[in-house]
A and B are shown apart, each in its own frame.
Chain A
Amino acid sequence: MSSAAIPDLPAKTPAKIDWNLPSRGRVGMFSLIAAESAIFTIFVVAYIFYIGKSASGPQPKDVLELPVFISICLLSSSLTIHLAVRALRRLEPAGFKFWWIVTLILGTIFLVGTGREWHHLIYDRGLTVSTNLFGTTYYSLVGLHAFHVTAGLIAILTVAILALIGKVEFEYHEKLDVFSLYWHFVDVVWVIVFTVVYIVGR
């Protein structure tokens, strides 16, 4: 609370400095993605380390089926969210709303598909977290990914509601672009999880 005069630094810049730094949102999101990647790496390592080490059944090859349809849905949602943000940047609110809601629907299909798969595994195949090592690692790795999808979908839903009542305008395109980085990351993680769980681990 000092009232002492605050000295200014010299404003004797030789020439006007051209000063552009990377945007905060992008740098922050890339840092967060790096941290999330480290977390997923540990879970993937644990999954690979425990492949074939379950003391009892069921084994992956007995119960897992390739979730091709929902994977296509999730991966295409990366494209649609990109189209949505591009539409907003080009001042096309109708296009933005359309692609954004398509993204929401595709993401929801993926989540419902995962839920159906889990229901099938739990009630028809008797595989839970505590059944064997496969159950423990499978539910935690796929579950961690599904948790990230859920978090993303809540954000997408919030933006969708705001868009429908006309609150999302051009000025938000940068923030939504930053968010779309997260969504792309969730998709990339799914490619890895899919490869490890459904191809390598089966």
Chain B
Amino acid sequence: MASETIALNEIAAGYRTIGERLHGWVTTVDHKRLGIMYIIYALMMLVIGGIEATIMRIQLMVPHNNFVSPEVFNRMFTMHGTTMIFFVAMPLVFGFGTYLIPLMVGARDMAFPRLNALSFWFTAFGGLLLYFSFIGGTGLYGAGNAPDVGWFAYAPLTAKVFSQGHSTDFWSLALLVSGFGSIGTAVNFITTIISMRCPGMTLGKMPLLAWLNLVMAGLVILAVSPLTAAQIMLSIDRYLGGHFFDTQAGGSAVLWMHFFWIFGHPEVYVLVIPCFAFASEIIPVFSRKPIFGYPVMVAATVAIGFISMSVWAHHMFAVGMTSYGNTFFTVTTMIISVPTGIKIFNWIGTMWGGKIQFKAPMLFCIAFLFQFLIAGLTGIMLSASPFNWQLTGSYFVVAHFHYVIVGAILVTIFGAFYYWFPKMTGRMYNETLAQWHFWLFVIGFHLTFDFMHVPGMLGMPRRIYTYEPGRGWEIWNLIVSVGAVVQGIAILIFVFNLLWSMFKGEPAGNDPWDAWTLEWSTSSPPPDYNFATIPVVQSRRPLWDLKHPEDPDWKYE
């Protein structure tokens, strides 16, 4: 009788018009729907940012190319950087966090569901503001178009005299608005993790994903707020005639650099810590072992959070700080690699002696380990200020941070997509296509970003729109561009796999990976209320306890 009623309800649900469904999505405060909207929004922005990258790579493929004008090239790298950081990477990690945190701590929703929706729409409209600049950036002056000041928008490029029209204003407002969204989400994450855990889940029994997102949210609060303040100052300069960054009136262009990088460097950790979290959930499940060194993982993450607040000026060695300043930021930057290295050893320790299953999520996590290690090593090279003076502002730096953001962050997010896709949609992805995606993407990634280090060491500066032949840069740029095409094909396979599997994939069941955290205890996709009864946990792996009542974890923890 009950199942008949449910079936009837489902038929009734099926008759909802598209308008009604759309209304349901726009007005929702459900963390699962908001999480999915974040992710879809970020995927759309990923395609746009990818097109911008492709335009740049076509332009740089051969010397003296005239594919785009210098002005358009400047807009492309500005929009590419801004889009990828603020409207792809941030919404992706926030989307997964919004979706997963309540499920993993055994709650029915976030602590503040309406704030959650508000934060999403702030982020979404921030992105729209940024892209509206293509239309509205011209403004009354008839000058400008999309922003062209670079993603860190150094003064005095952003001064009214050098950036007429409204393009820089759109850039600034977009970051201000999406910054409010980020702060709102961070407040929500912290409150959910501290105040909404299900009975029995003490801080020491939380899944690592919750712990790492707690640290990430703390970093957002401390790091995104300075960016918000700096954007307010920039707007005061541009609209009210203030002098914060106006060197003519005694203001300081270097102050903007400090304010931007106080945000900018912790931001890298804001993005990578959730990816550490994905790896810390995926690697144990596919190694069939509990995570190695849980308390050390937590401690290392907290240490990274603290140290990351004191490394920002390693972006500014070439500015001319005192030798004390250079030494301080060199040392802190080298120190932060210690807790990061501890984490890598812990993941390897988790795999050591495990029965490793090389499914797509695990493959991406293994690629993450290798690539993140190399990214960290070039990071240590760049942290030495004399070396940095030589290579700052070159393609070596571009290769280094793309190694972090693509090689570590994006790759782990791909792993997270495949791992939680069955939970979000109720269907399995196609493993063959996923393996194709993996190998093509890894090959394309290494073609692009391994070889990008070389022109940097040969002296090719970043952000140039073309170059002379005969400097030894041509072959490297050609390889880099070819790699970009391979990555593009891999991402098309990925998107096709997601779309196809969403409708045609095999039903996944509640727990396709035989995993141990709470989200796998509910149906796929989870019902609106997540859990029929609020779970009670006794260990870090509640589903292990459930599946192995003869040998539960809580006996040993």
CB distance from A190 to the nearest CB of B (A): 18
Q: Interface residues of B toward A: which range?
A: 35 or more
Selected contact of A55 from candidates B183, B230, B236, B249, CB within 8 Å: B249
A9 x B535 contact (CB < 8 A)? yes
Selected contact of B225 from candidates A9, A13, A24, A38, CB within 8 Å: A38
Interchain CA distance A192-B218 in the complex, whole Å? 23
**CB within 8 Å of B: which of A1-39?**
1-4, 6-11, 13-14, 17, 19, 21-24, 27-28, 31-32, 34-36, 38-39
Of A98-106, A107-115, A128-136, the one touching chain B: A128-136
**CB within 8 Å of A: which of B500-532?**
510, 518, 521-525, 527, 531-532
Name which residue of chain B comes closest to A136, CB basis.
B242
CB-defined contacts of B42 to chain A, threshold 8 Å:
none
Residues A6 and B111 in contact in the complex (CB < 8 Å), given A34-B221, A38-B225, A140-B242:
no
CB distance from A25 to the nearest CB of B (A): 9
Q: Is the interface of B mostly helix, strand, loop or mixed?
A: helix
CB distance from B422 to the nearest CB of A (A): 12
CB-defined contacts of A79 to chain B, threshold 8 Å:
none
A21 x B244 contact (CB < 8 A)? no
Tell whether A72 is near chain B: CB-to-CB under 8 Å: no
- Which one of B183, B262, B531 has the highest number of Cβ atoms from chain A below 10 Å of its Cβ? B183
CB-defined contacts of B546 to chain A, threshold 8 Å:
9-10
CB distance from A110 to the nearest CB of B (A): 22
Of B6-14, B77-85, B164-172, B444-452, the one touching chain A: B6-14
A2 x B533 contact (CB < 8 A)? no
B191 x A31 contact (CB < 8 A)? yes
Tell whether B255 is near chain A: CB-to-CB under 8 Å: yes
CB-defined contacts of A17 to chain B, threshold 8 Å:
199-200, 536
Name which residue of chain B comes closest to A11, CB basis.
B536
A140 x B232 contact (CB < 8 A)? yes
Of A42-50, A82-90, A165-173, A179-187, the one touching chain B: A42-50
Interchain CA distance A41-B229 in the complex, whole Å? 9
Tell whether A76 is near chain B: CB-to-CB under 8 Å: no
CB-defined contacts of B533 to chain A, threshold 8 Å:
8-9, 11
B3 x A3 contact (CB < 8 A)? yes
Interchain CA distance A2-B509 in the complex, whole Å? 10
CB distance from B440 to the nearest CB of A (A): 33
B532 x A8 contact (CB < 8 A)? yes
Q: Interface residues of A toward B: which range?
A: 35 or more
Residues A53 and B250 in contact in the complex (CB < 8 Å), given A46-B244, A130-B240, A140-B233:
yes
Tell whether B264 is near chain A: CB-to-CB under 8 Å: no
Name which residue of chain B comes closest to A44, CB basis.
B229
CB distance from B428 to the nearest CB of A (A): 15
B187 x A35 contact (CB < 8 A)? yes
CB-defined contacts of B200 to chain A, threshold 8 Å:
13, 17, 19
CB-defined contacts of A13 to chain B, threshold 8 Å:
199-200, 536, 538
Binding site for A on B (CB under 8 A): 3, 6-7, 10, 13, 111-112, 183, 186-188, 190-191, 194-197, 199-200, 217-218, 221-226, 228-230, 232-233, 236-237, 240-244, 249-252, 255, 259, 262, 426, 510, 518, 521-525, 527, 531-533, 535-538, 542, 545-546, 549
A-B contact pairs, 20 of them (CB 8 A): A6-B531, A8-B533, A9-B531, A13-B536, A17-B199, A22-B194, A24-B111, A24-B112, A28-B188, A31-B186, A31-B217, A34-B218, A35-B183, A36-B225, A38-B221, A39-B225, A39-B226, A40-B229, A136-B237, A140-B236
* With A8-B533, A46-B233 already in contact, 10 other A-B pairs whose C-beta atoms are closer than 8 Å: A9-B531, A17-B536, A19-B199, A31-B186, A35-B186, A42-B262, A129-B240, A129-B241, A133-B243, A136-B236
